[in-house]
C-alpha cells in the first residue's frame, strides 16, 4: 500500500504542476500582440504539449487514488467526512483541468476574449484546491 500511496502523491504533484503552469501560458497568450504570430504559435505549442502531458499524469493519479480508496479502504467508515470533502475538491480539480482544455481550444480558434488579469486569477484556483486537499488528507479536520 505504501508504494501505491507514494506513486499517488508523485502523480498528483506532477498533475498539479501542470495545472499551475498551463494558466501562466494563458496569461502570456492573452498578452501577445495580434501581429506576433510566431510568439503566439510557440505559446500554443507549449500549451498543447503541457495539457497533453498533464492529462496523461492525471489518469494514474486518479487511478491510484481510487485504488487506495477501493482496495485499501482509506477514507471508509464513520469519521471520514474528510474523504467526501476531498473527493469534492478532486472533482473540482477535474473540472478545472477540463476548463483549461476549453480555454486552450478558444485560444487556438483565436476566440478568447478574456484578459491576462482574468487568467492571473484563474491561475490561483489549483493552488487553493491543492491546499484544501492536502489539509483534508493530513489534518482531517472533519
pLDDT mean for each 10 residues of the chain (142 residues): 94 98 97 93 98 98 94 81 95 98 95 91 97 96 88
Question: Which residue in 96, 103, 99, 84 sits closest to 128, CA to CA?
Answer: 96
pLDDT of amino acid 72:
77
Question: What does the pLDDT read at residue 142?
Answer: 85
Q: What's the pLDDT score for residue 78?
A: 81
pLDDT at 25: 97
The phi, psi pair for 104, rounded to 5°, reads: -65, -45
Residue 75, pLDDT score: 77
Up-side HSE of residue 63: CA atoms within 13 Å toward CB?
A: 7
Written as nine digits, the cell of 55 is: 492529462
**Residue 113: its pLDDT value, please?**
83
- Tell me how far apart the 2 most distant CA atoms of the chain are, in Å: 60
pLDDT for res 85 = 95
**19: Cβ contacts below 8 Å, ≥ 6 apart:** 54, 93, 96, 97, 100, 126
Amino acid at each position: 500500500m505504501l508504494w501505491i500511496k507514494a506513486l499517488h502523491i508523485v502523480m498528483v504533484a506532477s498533475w498539479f504542476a501542470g495545472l499551475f503552469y498551463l494558466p501562466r501560458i494563458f496569461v502570456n497568450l492573452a498578452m501577445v500582440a495580434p501581429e506576433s504570430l510566431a510568439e503566439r504559435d510557440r505559446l500554443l505549442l507549449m500549451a498543447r504539449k503541457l495539457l497533453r502531458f498533464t492529462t496523461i499524469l492525471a489518469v494514474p493519479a486518479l487511478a491510484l487514488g481510487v485504488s487506495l480508496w477501493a482496495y485499501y479502504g482509506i477514507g471508509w467508515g464513520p469519521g471520514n467526512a474528510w474523504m467526501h470533502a476531498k473527493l469534492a475538491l478532486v472533482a473540482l480539480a477535474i473540472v478545472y483541468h477540463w476548463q483549461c482544455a476549453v480555454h486552450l481550444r478558444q485560444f487556438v480558434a483565436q476566440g478568447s476574449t478574456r484578459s491576462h488579469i482574468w487568467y492571473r486569477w484563474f491561475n490561483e484556483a489549483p493552488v487553493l484546491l491543492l491546499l484544501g486537499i492536502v489539509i483534508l488528507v493530513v489534518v482531517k479536520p472533519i
